[in-house]
Structure 1
């Protein structure tokens, strides 16, 4: 008995539509296990009072109420916004300028790429320790400055007014080379015909960069700014190694504050609330860039 007309083509179409999902299934299951599982666990833990030893005690939204009244959390949040402002400007501008210069280099371009990207390869803990020695007031850069006749040398990590910026300088020293590589890749994909046409019309190099090259880099700039903003809320390692949030709370970030609440103060339930606040802030940033994308700022 022959199959009804159209049954076999429908079956083939169904298999064709199902095949990509079969290939994606392992990754989806891994995502559900690795990402969604801890997310749900963190949400459940944020509703409890738990010291990490005894059974969790359900307290509802008390942790969220405490978070909204916690001055230390808002101080850390303010430091995170300062950190974000620094990293969305200085490393981005510096990486873009150096990338535009390196893209014009000839045979030595690979050397410059490797040299400027080298700090990104160094381990975070290693570079943080090295810079902590450089900032040391007894045998670091201050001794060199004093030998040069500069007596009023600052305490780079001991002065609450500049400690956060001193640590951010170290992280930016490591981060800008990565941005340079991203900008360099984007510059090699721009339309050189537009640049040549601008040169023929007599435009200066600054005008060519500002009016011809920069608009073509807009998707890359948007992506870098979005990543930098999200990563700013996850900043932890350099502050933890170099200052541990001190002096006082001058360099305390949300990540270090969450760590202290979870392990030092034995309040993983409250730390989970802080982690969800970090996730919420990152989600807001992604939503804002989604709105910008609809208005033409493609990411």
Structure 2
């Protein structure tokens, strides 16, 4: 009887863990997908760099306060500062800096769709960086994802929901994110707390964008109203802090399974954009999302079976 009771408890515990992971994954996908729509709303009131720099300073300050003041974690040392600066440049300044600029000329749904292609880009860049041959399924996955974005973007281009320039800047943004992810994985961070890394790379990334903020600032294009405040606070806290922490929790449990939650980001992104921004969802949208999800699945399928 005792053994049976113990088995029952373990089974319940595993089930509860599975439910918790599912809820965590869904929350992550929704929060991460909401960034595009939030950015579009903020751009109605302020310039891109005004939104980005404010967001990074608020998010970075909160994370650093928690990690150094509340958790008493150590400060970075010597070479760790250089690594944080480089990671912040790639993962914050270039990636999110270009992203917020691109969102002026790209729909929120398309912005979410492009984010979902990062696993494929990371796989290809890893193969090139580490001088490993690019596998056929990876190339096919990239082609599927690219085709998906083109298909989804086609009607948006016709209706001025996206421009070629916006798509190019968005592509540069995604490339920088992928390179940053690989850079992060290749460096030794010793016992530096993950919240410390995120806090400093976010703050440093914001500092690198300050010169661009001053150069392009036009006070006539900025209205610090409720839209701006809501956008900045949402991007700084639920997205930059909340979504990232949920993502790290998923990665700790199972890195391979965690990547599959990215599949939902394009779908959630288009739904959120349709509700908040009244952006159109057409047959092209469904076909494009299907292509991207198929490409992401193929590139991850082999990893999941290893």
TM over 0.5: no
Length-normalised TM-score, structure 1: 0.30
Is the radius of gyration larger for structure 1 or structure 2? 1
**Which structure ranks higher in relative contact order (CA pairs < 8 Å, sequence separation ≥ 6)?**
2
Task: Give the helix-richer structure, 1 or 2.
Answer: 2
